[in-house]
Amino acid sequence: MLVIDNLHAAVAGPNGPKPILKGLSLTVNAGEIHAIMGPNGAGKSTLGYTLGGRPGYTVTGGSVSFEGQDLLALPAHERAAAGLFLGFQYPVEIPGVSYLQFLRESLNSQRRSRGEDELSAGDFIKLAREQAKLLEMDAEMLKRPVNVGFSGGEKKRAEMVQMGILAPRFAVLDETDSGLDIDALRIVGEGINRIMRAPDKGVLLITHYERLLEHVRPDQVHVLQAGRITRSGDIELARELESTGYAEAAA
């Protein structure tokens, strides 16, 4: 479903592009959830931003195939329309734009690009309320400006509501567990499973900690260090990292 082959990428800096990803290769098949773990500065967020097409991140080598098409040849909005969802470590605030308006425009924009009919206001409100309820989030919060005044946990729940509404084929989730308490962690983990655990979908879950993985149960866990995958395994690898850290992960 997603095939990353020898990917090299650099991020813009004051002294020119700084290489971050240095030959990363990874394959996520349909129906699989993979987790990426690694120390700060290893390239985890750079990987997510590069896949999502964020400006300032330049691919200098390698390729990425998504559902058989060249992902890197598509602008960011076409990647989203093709079914790629990028969840942010720090969801941005958009003052003056209600979350409902933002979500409806996002959904209908993608539907138009796929030649589908737009969702009516009534049908969209029903969908938004259903998704909010499943995430145990007060639907009234979606009337507020995007993420303005939201706590860290509320931002992540709202992002899961967004993912439920857009129903992507593949989700790249960058530290979705950041800022979550125990209850919110369970709810978000259940949300990932409910929305994305399907034979025709896939997930790349970027995290520092094993705790979210206990809820999501990934098919594979990978260690990212210095821009490369240095080790892969199952959830036992994540548990090992909790006790030993990353110093021995490359062994």
Tens of pLDDT, residues 136-162:
888 888 899 998 988 888 888 888 899
Three-state DSSP string of 126-169: HHHHHHHHHCCCCHHHHHCEECCCCCHHHHHHHHHHHHHHHCCC
Reply yes or no on whether the pLDDT at 40 is more than 90: no
- 213, 185 contact by CB (below 8 A): no
Q: Where are the domains of the chain?
A: 2-244
Which has the minimum average pLDDT: 50-64, 183-197, 235-249?
A: 235-249
What pLDDT shows up at residue 199?
A: 95
Alpha-carbon distance of 226 to 38, in angstroms, equals 9
Which has the minimum average pLDDT: 54-58, 90-94, 202-206?
A: 90-94
Alpha-carbon distance of 13 to 228, in angstroms, equals 21
Reply yes or no on whether the pLDDT at 251 is more than 70: no
What pLDDT shows up at residue 248?
A: 64
What does CATH list as the number for 2-244?
3.40.50.300
Alpha-carbon distance of 251 to 248, in angstroms, equals 6
- 160, 88 contact by CB (below 8 A): no
* Closest C-alpha among 90, 86, 89 to residue 106: 86
Alpha-carbon distance of 216 to 165, in angstroms, equals 20
Report CA dihedral (216, 222, 223, 229) to the nearest 10 degrees: -150
Reply yes or no on whether the pLDDT at 249 is more than 60: no
What pLDDT shows up at residue 176?
A: 81
Alpha-carbon distance of 114 to 12, in angstroms, equals 33
Q: Which helix (H) or strand (E) holds 215?
A: helix 211-216
In degrees and rounded to multiples of 5, residue 148 shows phi and psi of -70, 120
Comparison of pLDDT for 39 and 220, the residue scoring more: 220
Q: How high does pLDDT run on average in the chain?
A: 90
Half-sphere exposure of 73 (CA within 13 A, CB side): 6
pTM reported for the whole predicted model:
0.89
Reply yes or no on whether the pLDDT at 172 is more than 60: yes
What pLDDT shows up at residue 50?
A: 94
